[in-house]
Amino acid sequence: MPRCKRKNRKSCRSDRLAPRLHSPRAKPRGVGANVSRIPLEAVFRNRSIRTEICVRSPDRTARHVAIIMDGNGRWAKRKHLPRAMGHRKGVEAVRELVRSLKDTSIECLTLYAFSSENWKRPEDEVDDLMNLMRKFIKSDLPEFIANDIKLHILGNWQGLAPDIVEMLEDALQKTSKGSRTLAVALNYGSQAEITQAARKAAEAGEVTEEAIERHLYSAPLPPLDLLIRTSGEVRLSNFLLWQAAYAEMLFIDVLWPDFTPDHLKRALADFAERERRFGGR
| Residue tagged active-site, from 8, 15, 118, 147 | 118
Nearer to ligand FPP, 28 or 71 (CB): 71
| Residue tagged active-site, from 8, 59, 70, 253 | 70
Query: Is 99 labeled as ligand-binding?
Result: no
Establish if 254 lies at the interface with ligand FPP (CB under 6 A).
Answer: no
Among the listed ranges 37-45, 87-95, 158-166, 169-177, the one in contact with ligand FPP (CB under 6 A) is 87-95
Among the listed ranges 84-92, 162-170, 221-229, 269-277, the one in contact with ligand FPP (CB under 6 A) is 84-92
Establish if 264 lies at the interface with ligand FPP (CB under 6 A).
Answer: no
Note the helical H segments in the chain. 13-16, 18-22, 40-43, 72-78, 83-100, 123-146, 162-174, 190-203, 209-214, 261-272
DSSP-based three-state secondary structure for 75: helix
Query: Is 25 labeled as ligand-binding?
Result: no
Is 238 noted as a catalytic residue in this protein?
no
Q: Fill in the amino acid letter for 135.
A: K
Nearer to ligand FPP, 44 or 112 (CB): 112
Sheet with 149-154: list strands edge to edge: 149-154, 180-188, 108-115, 64-68, 226-230, 248-252
The least distance separating ligand FPP from the CB of residue 185, rounded to whole angstroms, comes to: 9
Q: Of 110, 106, 40, 112, nearest to 70 (Cα)?
A: 112
Phi, psi of 126 (to 5 degrees): -60, -45
> What is the distance between the alpha carbons of residues 273 and 60, in angstroms, rounded to a whole number?
8
Q: Of 280, 242, 281, 271, nearest to 50 (Cα)?
A: 271
Residues comprising the chain, all counted: 281
- Please identify which residue in 65, 94, 154, 185 interacts with ligand FPP, judged by CB under 6 A: 94
**Binding string, 175-204, against ligand FPP, x = CB under 6 A?**
---------x--------------------
Q: Fill in the amino acid letter for 185.
A: A
Q: Of 179, 158, 180, nearest to 168 (Cα)?
A: 158
Nearer to ligand FPP, 87 or 266 (CB): 87
- Please identify which residue in 28, 73, 155, 189 interacts with ligand FPP, judged by CB under 6 A: 73
Establish if 100 lies at the interface with ligand FPP (CB under 6 A).
Answer: no
CB 41 within 8 Å of CB 21: yes
Among the listed ranges 39-47, 52-60, 83-91, 217-225, the one in contact with ligand FPP (CB under 6 A) is 83-91
Nearer to ligand FPP, 256 or 271 (CB): 256
> What is the distance between the alpha carbons of residues 61 and 193, in angstroms, rounded to a whole number?
28
CB 97 within 8 Å of CB 170: no
Nearer to ligand FPP, 54 or 111 (CB): 111
Q: What residues form the annotated binding site for Mg(2+)?
A: 70, 248
- Give the footprint of ligand FPP on this chain (CB under 6 A): 69-74, 87, 90-91, 94, 111, 113, 118, 132-133, 136, 184, 256
